A and B are shown apart, each in its own frame.
Chain A
């Protein structure tokens, strides 16, 4: 199984500042035949289901604000929120869909400093 490891486990950032969450996979999730990274990012607020933010490591889902961006390739990935808003307080998860089981990172809790 591919193990997904996120860092940090929790993060406190001031409003308007940049937030960066990292995700590392135990093996590459880059599929060479199409040059796509099978990596997604989700946002989960208390009492709500996860919401898809990013897929193919860097493609924003429809309606996701452009302050959210994803980057990376192979085994190392980053979710960046360029200017933190109060509404961004949540737990963020990465997930690989390169192979089954489709494993998730342990989550990163993002709070306001």
Chain B
């Protein structure tokens, strides 16, 4: 069974940093692209970015709203992807999901709250 589990969310002040993790199991993690998507409370889905596999040179892409502040990485030896979030703004408050680009599976999400 494909499973993705996000962790690392929490409360952070504006301007602060946070690193989310996405632990995967049940599929060949190293061969899959991993996407991050966020959803503010009561709002729609916003694609944040993705990282491709080693075969595709670990290429990353980001939404304009987070480019230059967020960085996606992965450790295939740990079957884990990461979302490093810097210079956080109040508008980054959301549930953050990771998803497998091949199977379409999603994790349950982790809540990030940016507030003073």
Q: Which residues of A contact B61 (CB under 8 A)?
A: 100-101
From A22-30, A68-76, A81-89, A102-110, the one touching the partner chain is A102-110
Q: For the complex, is B50 an interface residue (Cβ under 8 Å from A)?
A: yes
Considering the complex, give the chain A residue whose CB is closest to the CB of B107: A49
Is A52 within 8 A of B104, CB to CB? Answer: yes
What 1/0 flags go to B23-55 for Cβ under 8 Å of A? 000000000000101000000111100100000
Q: For the complex, is A51 an interface residue (Cβ under 8 Å from B)?
A: yes
Q: Is the interface of A mostly helix, strand, loop or mixed?
A: loop
Is B44 within 8 A of A93, CB to CB? Answer: yes
Q: Which residues of B contact A52 (CB under 8 A)?
A: 104-106
Residues of B at under 8 Å CB distance from A?
35, 37, 44-47, 50, 61-64, 97, 104-109
Q: Which residues of B contact A55 (CB under 8 A)?
A: 104
How many A-B contacts are there with CB distance less than 8 Å?
Answer: 44
Q: Cα distance A101–B61 when bound, in Å?
A: 8
Residues of A at under 8 Å CB distance from B?
1, 40, 42, 44, 48-52, 55, 61, 93, 95, 100-107
Q: Cα distance A93–B45 when bound, in Å?
A: 8
Q: Which residues of B contact A42 (CB under 8 A)?
A: 45
Q: Which residues of A contact B46 (CB under 8 A)?
A: 104
Please give 8 more A-B residue pairs, beta carbons under 8 A apart, in addition to A61-B104, A95-B47, A107-B44: A1-B64, A49-B108, A51-B106, A52-B105, A101-B63, A102-B50, A104-B44, A107-B45
Instruction: Give the distance to chain B from A6, nearest Cβ to Cβ, in Å.
Output: 9
Q: Contacts A55-B104, A101-B64; is A49 near B35 (CB within 8 Å)?
A: no
Q: Which residues of A contact B107 (CB under 8 A)?
A: 49
Nearest first, the 3 closest Cβ-Cβ pairs linking A and B are: A52-B104, A49-B106, A100-B61
Q: Which residues of B contact A44 (CB under 8 A)?
A: 45
